[in-house]
Structure formats: structure tokens, C-alpha cells
Chains A and B, each alone.
Chain A
Amino acid sequence: MKKKAVSILLAAAMTISLLTGCGGAEKAAEAPQTEKEPAAQESEAEQAQPAADSQTVAEEPIKITFWNSFTGADGDMLTDLVNRYNEENTDGITVEMDISADFDSQLSTAFAAGTGPTMILSSSAYRFTYGDYMQDISDVFDRTNLDKTDFIQSYLDYCSEGDALYFVPFQIVGYYMYWNKDLFTAAGLNPETPPSTWDEWAEYAQKLTDESKNVYGSGISYDYAYQIAHIMQRFGGLAVTGESENWKANFEGNSGYAKFLNMYQTMVQNGDNPLEADTDSMASAGQIGMTVGGPWVTAGLDTAGVNYGIGLIPLGDAGDMNSVEVLGFSVTTAASDAEKAAAYKFIEWWNSENAEGSSPALEWSVANGFPAYTYSVQEKDAYKTNAKLSAMSAANPDAPTDFIVDSSFPGTNAIIADVIPEMINSVAFGSSSVEEALAKAQAAADKITADY
């Protein structure tokens, strides 16, 4: 049934439109189209042919394509690094990078046609959607100088299914707490001691709020599911746990989640937290006392000249944890063996030290504030002395790292894109009580877990 279904459907559609179309001219134009079809279906085979040829002459220049969705300032840095690789490498490899403003549209259409880039950069959760088009790259450690034991195992787990490895980690995205030190001082709070519990958060939020200045103490956005999820799991643990075929959703009766939702609701009602989708801009404008977000928040705060501090998100009743997403390089099924080898070379370069002991991975980590995924980078001085990173890496290394659901749960997208937003919206706008919202979330999540 695989693959054929859609081809048949398309062919059927063509035939139907042939029959309904009137006039001879159209038929003539249609004919070459249908003739072409079988040829195109073999495109995969055709693609493999030149690949095999080029492998025999290994040192031939080779061009590989590399797609990702790094729009924004960090994409600019990625472009510079890729350009550097293209200049530096002596293997005749050219990496042609394409940053996409609509990555999903570009990927899904390309994959559906059996084409696509050599290499992509995406969240490890993409394997649940596009896994059929990703190659097992577990041999990357055998075929390059990369040392598997240098990679932090819990991050590799995000990227693997059984023995198969679909990604080599590229960036670890954790969320952190940011607080505006000037606002703390103005409110009579100590600017060096951020809240360490959520009760303190609520208490500080009240003190920080200054209606006359349009300042809000707490900046939690109802329209920012990732932010909500990172906070929420500190209150009530993971939303989906268990194992394949036996997943269990934990919304209904989760007292931690209920506590979070009640706290959020109270802060909104008291005017300590704005009812606003875009709280990041407010934080940059210096109008928010405390907020939670990814490392990119610092970029906005820095440009705006906000005097801020970074710390770990306060822990809640669910105990010690360090929720992260893992982004990684993966090689698609559109890549030939030669292209795959070239992609490995690039990934190897990304994680290799130069004469000065620096590596692109280290530069990336330090410049953008993403924690390291290898022990060797963690040991670097440039890494250890970076103020932002040290605050971010203060987390207990042994704490579980799963983000909102068990990292091997394939339905993670739906939980973050549908279940959590529906829940937080209905609470924020009072269309249902906290209990009702959780019950509805449970029902929705149960439907998703039943699928896997």
C-alpha cells in the first residue's frame, strides 16, 4: 500500500480530468504527461545511478544541499559558518544551504516527490513525522573521528530509536527564567535573588506590577505553548508517560497542572500577568518583571539594553528536572552514499577543534547560549566562563531531560500544538474551569495516545 496509493490517486485524477475535459487540444497536451509518469516513478533509481558513479571517484568535487529553518539572526551566523566550511575543507565539498521560511511545506512537498536535500537540521521530534525519509546514521561514529562517548547519552536518546540513530545533536534548547533587575530594584526586591519557587514568583509578580507604568510582574503568554509546557511540567511532571503501545496521558486529576493553571488564572485576574500573546516584545521593552523563554530571549534583551539576569526555571512539585528539546543534523533518503559521506564530513567538521582548540559547535553554543551536548565542549574555558551559559548549565546533570512528554512519544507535536493551547486558552479566557479544561485535555490526549 505504501507510496503507490498516492501515485494511483494522482493517475486516477488525471484520467478523470481527461474524461471531463472537452476538446481535442487538451488530450494532445495530456499525452506526454501520462507517458512521463512511469519514468518519474523510477526517479529514485535514476538518482542512485550517478551517485554510485561518483563514489568510485571519491575525490571529485561534490555538492550537498542542506535545508533548515534558521530564519533570524542565528541563521546569519550559520550561513557564515557554512561559508567558512566551504572555503576551508579540502575534500572538494560544497554545502549549499537553504534557509526556509516554511520548512514543513518545503520538506513535505520535496519528500512526496522523492527528492529533497542531502541533510536537514530539525528538532529530533521531526523523526515522528518525516522518519521514513531519514537515514539511519548510527555509523557516523565509525566512519568519522567523532567519539560517541563524548556525546551526552541522554541527548543521543532523543535522536535514536532502538539501535538506529536519526540525528547527530546540533543544539540543545532549554528554557530559562529571565528577570529584569531594574524593575526588581524599583519594586524594592533584591535584583540578585530571583524567585526560587513558584509561590515566590506569584508574590514577586504582585510586587513588580506597576499599572501606572504599564509594567507587569509576570510574563507568561497564553499563546506560547512551549513556554507553558516548560513551566507546567515543573508543576505536574510529564503529560504523557509509558512506552510504545501503552502510552498514558496525565492531565485529568494532575494536581500540579491544576495548581499551575490556578496560579496563572489568579495572576491574570489580578493584573499581574498580561493577557497578551506577545510577551517577548514586552520583556524587550522592559515592561515585564519575570519571564520564561529560550536563549534567544537574551538577543532581544541585549539589543534593547535591558539589565537582566538569567536563571533556571523555578522547580515545582514535580521535582528536579531539566526539560530540553534536541535539534540535530539528519541525512535524508534522497542522499546518495557519496553525499551521505560528504554530510558526515561536514558534521565531523562542526564538532572538530581547530588549532586554537575552538570548534564551530563551541562558537555556536557560546554565541547563541545553547548548552553543550558533548563533554569536550563543556570543558572549554570559553564555555565555562560564559556568564549566560554558566547560569544555564547550572542544572543538575542527572535530572531527567524529557520535555513535556516522554522523549520517545511520537505524538509530541499534537500535544504541544493542540492539547496544551486549547487547555491554556480556555482557562485564560474563562470559557471553562480549571477542572473542565484538564478533563478536556485528558480526552484529547487520550485520543492521541491511542494512535501510537
Chain B
Amino acid sequence: MSSKREKRIKEKVCEIPVFIILLVLALLVIVPVIWMTFSAFKPEKEIISWPPTFFPHVLTGQNFVDVQKRINILRYMLNSAIYAGGTTALAVIVNSMAGYAYAFYDFKGKSGLFLLTLATMMVPFQVIMVPLFLVVFKLGMYDSYWGLIIPRVVVAGSIFMMRAAFTGLPKELAEAARIDGLSEFGIFRKIMLPQVKPAIITLMILSVNGSWNDLLWPMIVTSSTEMRTLANGLALFIGQNTIEYGAAFAGALISLLPMFLLYIFGQKYFVEGMASSGLKG
């Protein structure tokens, strides 16, 4: 009895340094972000000044007005949403199927295919950019949502992540379902997929975030301004010779907000993931 209480106390004492470490890290992360947020509300003159300020001396909404005036935020956001949403929806299906196959099946050429998949993430995009563009162009997908989305669906890293998530599941689950007469696809969809919900949420967040902030691909694969994404629009405030800091930070906040809300929303599902993972292992 007493030993259990001691253990409890020991755990509580341990938690204090842990909390301090977490807090310091959080400050390290959040202070620059707060600086950026405040800067978005400062006049340009105050962002670049000596001595530098943290809290705004003058509060202004001008930077947001500038952003709103210069770019068609709604149109660009819609494009970003289509790009991010389309890519993510397909990415979840395709990458989790592939990850499942690598985790659960033994087949000829498994190692080779997996390594080939991994190999594709080892060449800088700038180098394959031109040939990739030629492929997209020859498939007739230039300047279309399809051209934007399809080439970005399969991500070696995502396949790898789903593989990792599925590898953690007990193989007996599949065996039991097979005996029950479920088809292989049925096992995947009805038994296995629900077990890796948190990983799917992570994949979705990664994929949405990746395409939401993607600058280069939407720019080269679309040519009309109606196809531009938010990230492209915000790049306009970073000139070749001058940077409009206030507008750039304001734009960054505008683009950050939907992602942050999505994350908070997604985090709710982590809890469910936790609840459902009390498997009969």
C-alpha cells in the first residue's frame, strides 16, 4: 500500500521537470509565432525599426486590407481547398492500400517495389521538375485541377507511414476475418482501416498541409490566374528586391488559420483512435 503511494509521489515529482521542459519548448515555439502575429498588426515602419519592438506600439489592420485588396483571397482559397482536398482524399485511399499491402502481404518483388517507392523520395524536386512537367503536359492535364492533383497523390513517405501503422496490428485479426469468409478487400476496409484511424488523420493533415503550402507545383502546372492557389498569392508580397513584411505576415496568418482549425478538429479524432485501439490482442 505504502509503496504504491510512494510511487505515485515519485511520479508527481518527476512531472515537474518534464512540465518545465515542455513549457520551455512551447515558449521557444510560440514566441516567434506571436512575434509574427503581432507584426502582422504593426505598420511596416515598426516591423523594421531600431530598437525592435515585440508588442505593437501602433495597432493597424492595414496589412490585412492590403492583402485583401491585392489578391482574390476567396478564389485562391477555393483553389487551395480543391487542390488540398482532392489530393488528400485520393492520397488516403491509394497510400493506405499500398501501405497495407506492404505490411500484410508477402509477395514476389516486395522489397524491390518498396525500395523503388522509397527511391522516388530521394531526388530533389527541382531536378525531376521539367521531365515531370512534360509527362503531365503530354497526358493533357496541363492547367487543370487533375494535373494539379493526380501527380501529387502518391507520396512515398505516406505509403511508408501507413505501412508502419499497419505493421503494428496483429495478423491474427486478418486470419480470423478470413475464416469468417470476408474478402481481402473487405478485411482491409472493414477490419484493418478503422484500426489505424489516427494514422489516417495524420496522413490527411500532412497531405492537406503539404498541398496547402505548396508553392512551386501549382505555379508551374497551371498557367491561368484563376487556377492560382493561396500560397502563390501570398508569394506576391515577397518581392525580388523588397519584402512587404506586414502584408506577408498578415497573409501567413490568413493561410494558417484554416489549417489550425482543421488540426484542432482532427485532434478530436485522436481520442477516438485511442478508445478504439483497446484491441483483443
Contact = CB atoms under 8 A, between A and B. Distances in A.
Interface of A: 6, 10, 13, 20, 22, 33, 36-37, 40, 65, 69-76, 96-102, 105-106, 108-110, 112-113, 115, 117, 214, 280-281, 284-287, 294, 296, 299-300, 303-305
A112 B134 contact: yes
Contacts, number: 115
A22 B130 CA distance: 26
B239 A71 contact: yes
22 contacts: A70-B239, A71-B237, A72-B239, A74-B239, A75-B236, A76-B70, A96-B224, A97-B225, A98-B223, A98-B228, A99-B236, A101-B236, A102-B216, A102-B219, A102-B220, A105-B126, A105-B216, A106-B219, A106-B220, A109-B220, A113-B138, A286-B50
Contact of A304 (B49, B135, B138): B49
A40 B140 CA distance: 9
A20 B112 CA distance: 10
B242 interface: yes
Contact of B236 (A36, A37, A72, A115): A72
Nearest to A105: B220
Given A96-B225, A294-B241, A71 B138 contact: no
Interface string B237-280: 11111111000000000000000000000000000000000000
A350 to B, nearest CB: 20
Given A115-B137, A115-B142, A294-B241, A102 B215 contact: yes
A105 B214 CA distance: 14
A71 B235 CA distance: 7
Given A10-B134, A106-B219, 6 more contacts: A36-B140, A71-B235, A71-B240, A76-B70, A285-B48, A294-B241
B242 A296 contact: yes
Contacts of A20: 116
A76 B160 CA distance: 44
Contacts of A65: 223-224
A206 B244 CA distance: 31
B27 interface: no
B109 interface: yes
A285 B52 CA distance: 9
A21 to B, nearest CB: 9
A142 B228 CA distance: 37
Nearest to B143: A115
A143 B240 CA distance: 34
Contacts of A214: 50
B133 A112 contact: yes
B138 A33 contact: yes
Range class of the B interface residue count: 35 or more
Interface of B: 44-45, 48-50, 70, 109, 113, 116, 126, 129-131, 133-135, 137-140, 142, 215-216, 219-220, 223-225, 228, 232, 235-244
A127 B215 CA distance: 26
Nearest to A40: B138
Given A71-B236, A113-B133, A115-B137, A280 B216 contact: no
Given A96-B225, A97-B225, A73 B244 contact: yes
Given A65-B223, A117-B223, A72 B242 contact: yes
B242 A280 contact: yes
Given A10-B131, A40-B137, A285-B50, A105 B219 contact: yes
A303 B232 CA distance: 25
Nearest to B116: A20
Nearest to B108: A22
A281 B241 contact: no
Contacts of A294: 241
A414 to B, nearest CB: 18
Contacts of A36: 138-140
Contacts of B232: 101
Contacts of A13: 131
A142 B263 CA distance: 61
Nearest to B137: A113
Contacts of B219: 100-102, 105-106
Contacts of A100: 219
A160 to B, nearest CB: 25
A6 B133 CA distance: 13
Contacts of B48: 281, 284-285, 300, 304
A22 B134 contact: no
B238 A98 contact: no
A416 B224 CA distance: 32
A81 to B, nearest CB: 15
